[in-house]
Amino acid sequence: MPTEPVDQRLQGLGVMITRPAHQSQTLQTLIENAGGNVFSYPLLEIQPVTDTQSLAPILSQLDHYHIAIFVSPNAVEHGLCLISQHGRLPDALQIACVGQGSARQFQTLAHREVDLCPEGPFNSEGLLAMPAMQQVKDKRIVIFRGQRGRELLAETLRERGAQVDYAPVYERNSPKIDTQQLNDELQQRKIDIITVTSTEAAQNLFQQANGEQLQQVPYIVVNARSEEFLREHGVKSEILITTEASDSGILTALLQWYSQRRNS
């Protein structure tokens, strides 16, 4: 019986992934199935908020809102969990997601389609550019997010006349990594490229590891803010921005970069 062909498009490539530990397995499997070597260093840790009492007035009165925005898959997961403890999602509530990953997560967990999701770019700017988000005067909007985050979305919607509330449903912590091991692997050139999926993860990386070595390694990032941070911290090598922040989007960027590198 013939065997399935083995995908070796990333053969020999050392890829460092920095996703939170509970969210890294899919990306790790995709890279390894393509022949790559994975070095996992989770640079963020996602935890549900401990103080949910302050969220009760929002979660129990979602029928008073016109639009609910989920800024990330974590916002979807932890937001829906808390909503289920206080009632249900009103049928009339419009659902908006910043990215496709969040939209897919919402559809999977809520068994309901998302009303608004940009076709790109998959960020606050992309969502704000949608026609439905232009005419929001006097609308009540709730944003499900982490305890810290960008203010652009809320600020712009308020400027357009909306009433905006935050529902911080998770918190991001910075776990300690084995910096000696990481520095050794960088020094020995075992790691060929680093994937970074948030600016906060990049900040944690540079706070813990050898900055000079980090400046020499190519990066794959999911937004321009992370690229800007890396350049400000002296990264001189290539920085690629994915077209999508998903695991498949990161894999596609890796395949394209490695193919060009081997053919150059």
- Per-residue pLDDT at 186 exceeds 70: yes
Given this chain, do its domains 14-44+175-263 and 47-172 carry the same CATH topology?
yes
Residue 147 banded pLDDT, cuts 50, 70, 90: confident
- Per-residue pLDDT at 221 exceeds 50: yes
- Per-residue pLDDT at 119 exceeds 60: yes
In the predicted model, what is the mean pLDDT of residues 16-32? Answer: 94
What residues does each domain of the chain span?
A: 14-44+175-263, 47-172
- Per-residue pLDDT at 253 exceeds 50: yes
- Domain 14-44+175-263, CATH: 3.40.50.10090
In what side-by-side order are the strands of the sheet with 45-48? 45-48, 163-173, 140-146, 67-70, 94-97
Taken in order 238, 235, 192, 43, the sign of the CA dihedral is negative
List 159's β-bridge partners, or say none: none
Fold (topology level) of 47-172: Rossmann fold (3.40.50)
One-character DSSP codes across 54-119? GGHHHHTTGGG-SEEEE-SHHHHHHHHHHHHHH----TT-EEEESSHHHHHHHHHHHSS--SB--S
